């Protein structure tokens, strides 16, 4: 109980500081553009840390360590896919997107795509914005549920009440300061996240070497992976295909008398599915791309690139190590929920005060994603649907108030969704996001930036086909055979290329 009280006190102090910092930054917001994209004047280091906190959050601190704990070295493929995708985005896309947003005076993700493809710009605004608002709407609800579960597990608070606490803590500064408040509070999350992912592996390795013989499962990562079995100790061992799996059955129908071919192809498809997270990072995640677009100038874009790349490499290395250290401490079957490996390692290795600070960072990272998704959904709805539909433009103050009002309404509805939707439904829809939005819009962004022949009608068709295919593929159950992240990218890419050659661009 004493440790629980310490963690609660530390967490309360942290959240109050975060709330006050977010409100303070909101004082600089004067117009709708400030609210939506911080006036495109973000310093590079702010943009980089905000993008990393938004992009990773609970994934880097809970999901990836949990997956590393469950599969061993196999999870390196997922990490490689993510890291390479993030590095490619920062090196090749961030600077271009910043420049394009400045040239076209774009305030939102779909606003940029619509202005670049003016012949069907209004349709792109409608389809793109409605799609993002719909999917991210449930995504926000899922973050509320995740944060509520975390508070419930830590302090045995009623989950419904815990979700309300989270909303009360994080929504006021989001409504008041919009994108600026969210990005500046993200900086605090990113710093605590990277400290956690540096300190935890170092302390964990020291803990393993200091523990007496027989008190833990293993005294090193290599020993832990070796003792856990071949599937943990090799980068391909975890991809062994189970004979009762849908993929095995499907491949066996194609190659009925070639078991080795079936197993080889199956392992390759599983590895490709793990690596396929790469495709979602190529400009297709609006909440990340907006950080690129908001950077102040070219000099700051280079600073942001360097920070983003370094942060990513360190964070993913640390997350994998924490998962493997968890195997060494608890054994491969020692935890009932694999995604608790990070907090379990922290509370085992550190003093309650230190673990309290770091666990607070885990919770803050989870709910910071909700802020980013919420402000993105609100600005897409406000800027691209409501304001564009008006015959007369609003003055800056009325525009700002409208954006705040839309954010408040979406916050309430997202909370209601979290209360009344089954968790399985919410998280199933979240699962669509990376494929349906990430892989689809990555194709649109890449071809918009690098292929002059690509134009509006193919862009619109790509969005519609990519989203439709993702929903079909997941609902039909085929995602269990081949990842929709990979196939949506391929289908969207083929749609974009073929329609560009077949459909000629209208001459203005």
In the predicted structure, residue 300 carries a pLDDT above the cut 90: yes
Q: Tokens for 111?
A: 């606003």
Range among 2-16, 373-387, 461-475 rated most confident? 461-475
Q: What is the pLDDT of residues 183-198, one digit of tens each?
A: 999 998 899 889 989 9
- At residue 262 the predicted structure's pLDDT band, cuts being 50, 70 and 90, is very low
| Cα 233 off chain centre by | 28
3-state secondary structure of 213: coil
Q: What is the pLDDT of residues 138-179, one digit of tens each?
A: 778 777 877 777 777 677 788 788 888 878 877 888 888 889
Tell me if 440 is assigned to some domain.
Answer: no
Query: How far is CA 377 from each of CA 110, 383, 407, 464, rounded to the nearest angstrom?
Result: 11, 10, 8, 19
Please state, for a pLDDT cut of 90, what percent of the chain lies above it: 37
Mean pLDDT, residues 384-396:
65
Q: Which residues pair with 42 in a beta bridge?
A: 295
In angstroms, the CA 126 to CA 119 distance is 14
Task: Quote the domain boundaries for residue 134.
Answer: 2-232+275-422
385 DSSP assignment: I
Tell me if 442 is assigned to some domain.
Answer: no
Question: Tokens 């954006």 belong to which residue?
Answer: 403
Tell me if 471 is assigned to some domain.
Answer: no
Between 67 and 399, where is the model more confident? 67
Query: Number of folded domains in the chain?
Result: 1
Between 426 and 312, where is the model more confident? 312
Tell me if 506 is assigned to some domain.
Answer: no
In the predicted structure, residue 367 carries a pLDDT above the cut 60: yes
Between 373 and 315, where is the model more confident? 315
In the predicted structure, residue 251 carries a pLDDT above the cut 80: no
Tell me if 375 is assigned to some domain.
Answer: yes
> The domain spanning residue 318 has which CATH number?
1.20.1730.10
Q: Which residues pair with 295 in a beta bridge?
A: 42
- At residue 426 the predicted structure's pLDDT band, cuts being 50, 70 and 90, is low
Mean pLDDT, residues 200-227:
91
Q: What is the pLDDT of residues 75-84, one digit of tens each?
A: 888 899 899 9
Q: What's the pLDDT score for residue 147?
A: 75
- At residue 206 the predicted structure's pLDDT band, cuts being 50, 70 and 90, is very high
Q: Quick one: CA dihedral 454, 457, 458, 463, positive or negative? A: positive
Average pLDDT value over all residues in the chain: 84
Q: What's the pLDDT score for residue 242?
A: 54
Give phi and psi for 233, each to the nearest 5: -95, -5
In angstroms, the CA 251 to CA 482 distance is 11
State the alpha helices, DSSP H only, in 229-297: 230-233, 246-254, 259-275, 277-280, 286-293
Task: Give the other-Cβ count within 10 Å of 421's Cβ.
Answer: 16
Task: Give the other-Cβ count within 10 Å of 506's Cβ.
Answer: 11
Range among 250-259, 299-308, 384-393, 408-417 rated most confident? 299-308
Range among 20-34, 364-378, 427-441, 459-473 rated most confident? 459-473
Tell me if 379 is assigned to some domain.
Answer: yes
Structural contact between residues 266 and 425, judged by C-beta atoms closer than 8 angstroms: no
Query: How far is CA 207 from each of CA 200, 214, 324, rounded to the nearest angstrom?
Result: 10, 14, 13
In the predicted structure, residue 245 carries a pLDDT above the cut 60: no
Mean pLDDT, residues 451-460:
94
Tell me if 311 is assigned to some domain.
Answer: yes
In the predicted structure, residue 450 carries a pLDDT above the cut 50: yes
- Choose the weakest-confidence range: 149-153, 266-270, 414-418: 266-270
In angstroms, the CA 101 to CA 93 distance is 12
In the predicted structure, residue 295 carries a pLDDT above the cut 90: yes
Tell me if 20 is assigned to some domain.
Answer: yes
């Amino acid at each position: 109980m004493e440790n629980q009280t310490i963690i609660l006190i530390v967490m309360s102090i942290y959240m109050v500081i975060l709330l006050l910092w977010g409100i303070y930054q909101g004082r600089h917001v004067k117009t709708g553009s400030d609210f939506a994209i911080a006036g495109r004047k973000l310093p590079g280091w702010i943009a980089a840390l905000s993008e990393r906190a938004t992009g990773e959050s609970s994934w880097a601190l809970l999901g990836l360590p949990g997956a590393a704990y469950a599969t061993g070295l196999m999870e390196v493929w997922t990490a490689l896919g993510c890291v390479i995708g993030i590095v490619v985005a920062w090196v090749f896309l961030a600077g271009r997107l910043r420049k394009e947003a400045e040239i076209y005076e774009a305030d939102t993700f779909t606003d940029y795509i619509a202005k670049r493809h003016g012949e069907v710009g209004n349709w792109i605004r409608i389809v793109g914005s409605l799609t993002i608002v719909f999917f991210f709407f449930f995504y926000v609800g899922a973050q509320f549920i995740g944060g509520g579960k975390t508070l419930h597990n830590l302090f045995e608070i009623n989950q419904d009440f815990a979700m309300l606490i989270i909303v009360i803590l994080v929504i006021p500064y989001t409504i008041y300061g919009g994108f600026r408040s969210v990005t500046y509070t993200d900086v605090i999350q990113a710093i605590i996240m990277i400290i956690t992912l540096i300190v935890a592996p170092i302390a964990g390795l020291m803990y393993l070497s200091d523990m007496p013989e027989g008190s833990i499962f293993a005294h090193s990562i290599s020993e832990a992976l070796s003792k856990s079995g071949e599937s943990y100790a090799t980068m391909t061992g975890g991809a062994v295909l189970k004979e009762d799996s849908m993929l095995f059955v499907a491949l066996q129908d194609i190659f009925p008398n070639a078991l080795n071919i079936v197993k080889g192809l199956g392992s390759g498809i599983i590895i490709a599915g793990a690596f396929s997270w790469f495709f979602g990072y190529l400009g297709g995640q609006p909440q990340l791309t907006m950080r690129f677009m908001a950077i102040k100038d070219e000099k700051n874009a280079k600073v942001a690139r360097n920070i983003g790349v370094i942060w990513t490499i360190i964070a993913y290395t640390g997350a994998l190590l924490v998962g493997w250290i968890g195997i060494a401490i608890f054994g491969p079957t020692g935890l009932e929920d694999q995604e608790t490996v990070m907090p379990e390692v922290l509370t085992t290795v550190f003093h309650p005060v230190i673990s309290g600070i770091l666990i607070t960072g885990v919770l803050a990272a989870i709910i910071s994603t909700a802020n980013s998704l919420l402000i993105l959904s609100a600005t897409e709805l406000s800027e691209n649907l409501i304001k564009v539909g008006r015959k007369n433009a609003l003055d800056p103050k009325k525009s700002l108030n409208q954006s705040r009002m839309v954010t408040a309404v979406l916050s309430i509805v997202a909370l209601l969704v979290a209360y009344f939707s089954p968790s399985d439904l919410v998280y199933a829809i979240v699962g669509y996001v990376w494929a349906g939005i990430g892989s689809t819009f990555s194709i649109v962004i890449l071809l918009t930036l690098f292929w002059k022949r690509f134009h509006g009608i193919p862009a619109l068709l790509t969005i519609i086909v990519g989203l439709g295919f993702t929903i079909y593929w997941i609902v039909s159950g085929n995602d269990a055979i081949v990842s929709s992240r990979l196939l949506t990218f391929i289908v969207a890419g083929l749609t974009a290329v073929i329609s560009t050659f077949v459909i000629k661009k209208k001459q203005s």
